[in-house]
Chains A and B, each alone.
Chain A
């Protein structure tokens, strides 16, 4: 039995796996890990960190794989969330056990294991070790099929006995060493891009329900032409420009700094920050990031070479027609000197929706 090692950590300790799932041919991506793609202003990694800290785990060990740079840049030392974050490289080839050794886990202490692709909806009591010394796992599903969410509270000695991540998965639900199973509603998850679209729709629909079906959120600095039609629920990030005769919604999220050109029609889609959507394009069940488009129904990602169709906004400004550059620059200058709400259009355009400003 290992002695409890004195550490500099304070409070409860969590172990966070990033890139829990591996990319594959059947699971295309947009060039960045899905947990770093923003939904309604926040990506899943942020939502997960906030949940871990809210639940009282102020020391977080983050196990990194491929997107280590982006994750570290975003999370930093954890000071932003009032916690302490330490990073550990988790190469797929190395044994999990070797990684966990560096965390100096005490045998009889309990640790939260979480992953950045899935966020279960759990009561506060889940995060207390309670009387079940074997630990507990958050599961979802029904009598026919139950699956582990990747979140659980485990003893240190049990964690140290797991050789690999796959073994951790298998043994978390092992009947011979039963852990208390806490059933959650369907968790928020971004393992695949289809999951990302579904999670985005759920978050929007929850806001929509709270706003009597009229949720349209337009963030600071965004400008919408008078003729834009918005069909709730819709979330528009900051400094977004939406041109004439565009239809946005339902179930659309547009990230900060995006530019939607004339006549485009967006439904059940996510536009990532700084993305240009060309004239008259139809986006239906897609996720777009710069020149990359993921069609969820076809489960395919394409790179669009024509900048007038899809692009990064800065490319459009650099290469696009002079009218775009001047219009955009004037808007940017205007935004610097204008504070608070932006004029967005008439009530008729919004179909009497309650618009939420931030």
Chain B
């Protein structure tokens, strides 16, 4: 799994583009390991989810863990670019009320 990293110049933050179609039990451990450094090192992490077509409960758990890390240090985790199936799953498990979710990168930036 590849994570494309783009620094956000005007803030202590990064945009992380997840280059995988599935975020599930098969790759969630790798996702956690790769994300940890960026979560620890920045106050703002924006996750670009455009490429992700499928998330299972392991994937949801990994995203929740990431959110907890950021909340504990009063940072921000923002998700954007979710496709409809992934969005439907988030709404089913009520995680759309827990995460900050935006349709696009511009919307996510506008909300800062």
Which chain A residues (302-355) contact chain B, with CB distance < 8 Å? 302, 304-306, 308-310
Interface size class of B (residues with CB under 8 A): 10 to 19
Chain B residues contacting A298 (CB-CB under 8 Å) are 84, 87-88
Which chain B residues (1-30) contact chain A, with CB distance < 8 Å? 24
Cβ of A299 < 8 Å from any Cβ of B?
yes
Chain A residues contacting B56 (CB-CB under 8 Å) are 305-306
Chain B residues contacting A284 (CB-CB under 8 Å) are 91
* 16 further contact pairs, Cβ within 8 A, besides A281-B93, A282-B93: A280-B93, A281-B92, A282-B91, A282-B92, A293-B88, A298-B88, A299-B84, A300-B87, A302-B85, A302-B89, A304-B89, A304-B92, A306-B56, A308-B57, A309-B92, A309-B93
Instruction: Produce 1/0 per residue, B54-93, CB < 8 A to A.
Output: 0011000000000000000000000000001101110111
B interface, CB within 8 angstroms of A: 24, 56-57, 84-85, 87-89, 91-94
A147 to chain B, nearest CB (A): 28
B109 to chain A, nearest CB (A): 24
Instruction: Produce 1/0 per residue, A267-296, CB < 8 A to B.
Output: 000000000000011111010000001010
CA distance A284 to B91 in the complex (A): 8
Contact A295-B91, Cβ < 8 Å, known A300-B84, A300-B85, A302-B85: yes
A51 to chain B, nearest CB (A): 34
Chain B residues contacting A310 (CB-CB under 8 Å) are 92
Chain A residues contacting B89 (CB-CB under 8 Å) are 302, 304
Chain A residues contacting B85 (CB-CB under 8 Å) are 300, 302
Contact A283-B92, Cβ < 8 Å, known A306-B56, A306-B57: yes
Interface size class of A (residues with CB under 8 A): 10 to 19
CA distance A310 to B92 in the complex (A): 10
Chain A residues contacting B87 (CB-CB under 8 Å) are 295, 298, 300
Chain A residues contacting B92 (CB-CB under 8 Å) are 281-283, 286, 293, 304, 309-310
Question: Which residue of chain A has the shortest Cβ distance to B58 in the bound complex?
Answer: A306
Question: Which residue of chain B has the shortest Cβ distance to A310 in the bound complex?
Answer: B92
Chain B residues contacting A302 (CB-CB under 8 Å) are 85, 88-89
Residue with the greatest number of chain A CB neighbours at <10 A, chosen from B24, B84, B88: B88
B91 to chain A, nearest CB (A): 7
Question: Which residue of chain B has the shortest Cβ distance to A281 in the bound complex?
Answer: B92
A263 to chain B, nearest CB (A): 10
Question: Which residue of chain A has the shortest Cβ distance to B85 in the bound complex?
Answer: A302
B26 to chain A, nearest CB (A): 12
Chain B residues contacting A305 (CB-CB under 8 Å) are 24, 56
Contacts A/B (CB < 8 Å), 16 sampled: A280-B94, A281-B93, A281-B94, A283-B92, A286-B92, A293-B88, A295-B84, A295-B91, A298-B84, A300-B84, A300-B88, A302-B88, A304-B89, A305-B24, A309-B57, A309-B92
